[in-house]
Chain A
Amino acid sequence: MATTRTFRIWRGDARGGGFEQFEIQVDEGMVVLDVLHRIQAQQANDLALRWNCKAGKCGSCSMEINGKPKLACMTRMNSFAESETITVQPLKTFPVMKDLVTDVSWNYAQNKRIPKFQPRPRDPDGAYRMYQEDVDRVQEFRKCIECYLCQDVCHVLRDRHGREQNTFVGPRFLIRLASLEMHPLDTADRIPAVRDEFGSGMCNITKCCTEVCPEHIHITDNGIIPLKERVVDRFYDPIAMLMRKIFG
């Protein structure tokens, strides 16, 4: 059943902007991204937005829909009441480029700061052996599609301080660090950097990131908390501290 729906879409750029209203026909089964495309084709050819796969696999169409960070391609229109006005705006944590497109380059800069994967040598027969139960956790983290919804919702990054000082990499990159730290083949030690450079201590486990993750990764419980524990074991375990004092 086709219905006419009301969309309020933020239009503008770094200099400012505001909401523009659109009345648009919506058909059965549509997601928000379909509606935005229809608006783009019929009413606003230059409406800027990012998308790629349209199946929740690439993490491009991140935006805030009725105030919630979401992927537009995975937000079905029938999840809203028929009379509800849908408000769409760009991610709040990152600077606006145009309309629904934000400058997420800060995230790419963080990724580059993380020391690369350093594997141990291969087994004598040339293979690497790892067991499925040992890689399940790492695979969970590697499901991340880099939509940056977790970065968007994280209040440490939202208040800009963490971003501007580069003191906190945010949930996405903490789980990337966790995926490297828990990788059975990796030999590098990133634990001092996790504390000192990447700011594991600044996360106070409100789990907002986990709530918005479209891949349902347990970012806080399975990634950030174990990293914090490793930091604590290394630097704050009294017995280990004593041992280090005695044996250097």
Chain B
Amino acid sequence: MLNVSEIQTIDHDVLVVGAGGAGLRAAIECSARKLSTGVVSKSLLGKAHTVMAEGGMAAAMGNVDQRDNWKVHFRDTMRGGKFLNDWRMAELHAKHAPARVHELEEWGAVFDRTKEGLISQRNFGGHRYPRLAHVGDRTGLELIRTLQDHGVHSGISFHMECTGLEILKDGDRVAGLLGYWRETGRFVIFRCKAVILATGGGGKAWPVTSNSWEYTGDGTAMAYNAGAELMDLEFTQFHPTGMVWPLSVRGILVTEGVRGDGGVLKNNKGERFMFNYISERFAPETAATVEEADRWLKGDKTARRPPELLTRDEVARAITAEVKAGRGSPHGGVFLDIASRLPADVIKKKLPSMYHQFIELAEVDITKEPMEVGPTLHYFMGGIKVDADSQMSSVPGLFGAGECTAGMHGANRLGGNSLSDLVVFGKLAGEGAANYIEKLGTPPKVPDAHVTSAVRAATDILNRESGANPYLLHEKLQETMAKGVGIVRVKEELEQAIAEIEAHKKEAETLKAPGASQYNPGWHEALAMRSLLVTSEAVARCALMREESRGAHTRLDHPGESKEWVNFNCVVTRGPDGAMRVEKRPRPPGPAGLVAIANAKIEDLESGAVGADAK
């Protein structure tokens, strides 16, 4: 019989789950508010997924082009998100991002500089002006190391290689979290007044992904199991340029910075095919000819942007169409050429880790040859539904920040808007949790019964005599998602995928991990599968419900954006019977001032004819 009093307990005011950019920034904020703050991370500190972000961090500082300001950034974000973004979040993000970049600099980050000695900014897809503060192509590393080195002096307790299993509640409110130490396999109860989830997405459900093993949707699933609402899960971003060869590196990211710095996409006939895929929405602001695109690259402010810098959803679809039409590269991608565009030494300086990655992993010298690239599952726009200002979910005391939340990016995220999202909303989540705790009456108590059942469910995997192999179940789920919930979707395939997921869920109840609980990856994999199945099911069910094509969600049987669907979100909850429910919920209309800015012609916004009074 399990005795809960024998399980290790750790007390904090706030527990942050996840040690990427959002988690660290949230923890720093809580600690600055004099709260006892703990951070739980699955990996070692400094290894979280943020470290892989390459291109940069979007913030309208106007260092390179002074015409930039928060309103243009906001407009770009809404247009990139196909107007499904949470208005308030997109506004907060555009307004706060410059201050967060400056703050990182104050904490020791060393961004690349302009000739005047200011923070340099680079071009990226969907951003009208050069806007991404960056450090070569390793901006994520700079961000995480800066927050890490600042955080270790901020009185935060770091609990490394510890995985969260369940949110514990006292009545409706958050009371703590049950987790386990990966090293020993022992359980631990964190008793706290608020939990901030900053756990990223669930990309590991797809076989071709830029995501690491950590991306199993843990926070999203924990929030769902705790009764929180999820939203917009159908929007899964396929980054247009992942490596395609060799097979073992398929999916690893090739930064959009390659295109921002002048790289072009070509098919096997040598054509710059993106000129054939310019949608109506972006046509007025996109170059019509190669000649115009090249003038833009040289800094001609009268020229329009190259189509290679359209938003990620549009580029990914174009690449998929080229490959399908038989114009792909030998290994099923297209060519990304920077070699003929920039001198070798400039490529090595601006894109050092891309150079390194291709030489070491693919034996391709990108200063001499084009890269072969294709779409890779990269990012979850959807996740936990949170309030824009406080970042609190529908469960009191449960907060979220970064990729595990929904709303900020709508139907499609712009490159560079993720790193800024992490620090803008990480800070707000920290403030939200601190404000919540301030008003909290009696501290919550952790219920023993929940701990007992959760521990038993986890240890059953080790204790049963025999059962299914967790690695093989993971592979099966990946096949299901690739086949039925890929870059283009259709009703019958989605229904088939949901049926398969139901079967996988049954099998997940019989998983067996051989060996002891001490640092046992088979057991960790089995536990992660439970989360991954929740997020995968939510993606598939939302994708089936949304009968239109918008942003990253493309339905072959419902082409084009529908006027009706822009007014709805798909909201996911766990029903009392344990079954997943999806609801088509009306969105509140945007404030008139913001709606006018988002819909303005760029000329009117810049002349002040629209939005002049918006502060």
Q: Which residues of A contact B (CB under 8 A)?
A: 13, 27-31, 34, 40-42, 45-60, 74, 76, 97-99, 101, 104-105, 108, 111-112, 116-117, 119, 126-132, 135, 138-139, 142-146, 180, 183, 185-186
Contact = CB atoms under 8 A, between A and B. Distances in A.
Contact of A45 (B51, B102, B212, B522): B522
A99 B520 CA distance: 10
Interface in B30-54: 43-49, 51-52
Given A54-B212, A101-B519, A128-B105, 9 more contacts: A34-B248, A52-B212, A55-B52, A55-B357, A76-B361, A99-B519, A117-B150, A139-B112, A143-B141
A27 B348 CA distance: 30
B333 interface: no
Given A74-B360, A132-B112, A146 B149 contact: no
A30 B118 contact: no
Contacts of A185: 105
B514 interface: yes
Contacts of B158: 108
A143 B142 CA distance: 8
A28 B520 CA distance: 29
Given A52-B212, A74-B360, A132 B142 contact: no
A53 B213 CA distance: 8
A130 B110 CA distance: 9
B117 A129 contact: yes
Given A28-B246, A31-B248, A131-B117, A112 B44 contact: no
Given A54-B212, A74-B360, A46 B150 contact: no
Q: Is the interface of A mostly helix, strand, loop or mixed?
A: loop
Nearest to B517: A46
Contacts of B360: 56, 74, 76
Interface of B: 43-49, 51-52, 102, 105-108, 110, 112-113, 116-118, 135-136, 138, 140-142, 145, 149-150, 152-153, 158, 160, 183, 212-214, 245-249, 252-253, 353, 356-357, 360-362, 469-472, 475, 513-516, 518-523, 525
B110 A129 contact: no
B264 to A, nearest CB: 23
Most B Cβ at <10 Å: residue of A57, A97, A108: A57
Nearest to B154: A116
A142 B113 CA distance: 15
B110 A135 contact: yes
Contacts of A186: 108
B549 to A, nearest CB: 31
Contacts, number: 165
Contacts of A55: 52, 249, 252-253, 357, 361
Contact of B142 (A41, A119, A142): A142
A120 B516 CA distance: 53
A102 B325 CA distance: 50
A142 B135 contact: yes
B113 to A, nearest CB: 4
Contacts of B136: 139
A40 B245 CA distance: 23
A131 B357 contact: no
Contacts of A97: 183, 519
Contacts of A135: 110, 113
Nearest to A40: B521
B406 to A, nearest CB: 25
B248 A183 contact: no
Contact of A98 (B45, B149, B514, B518): B518
Nearest to B520: A46
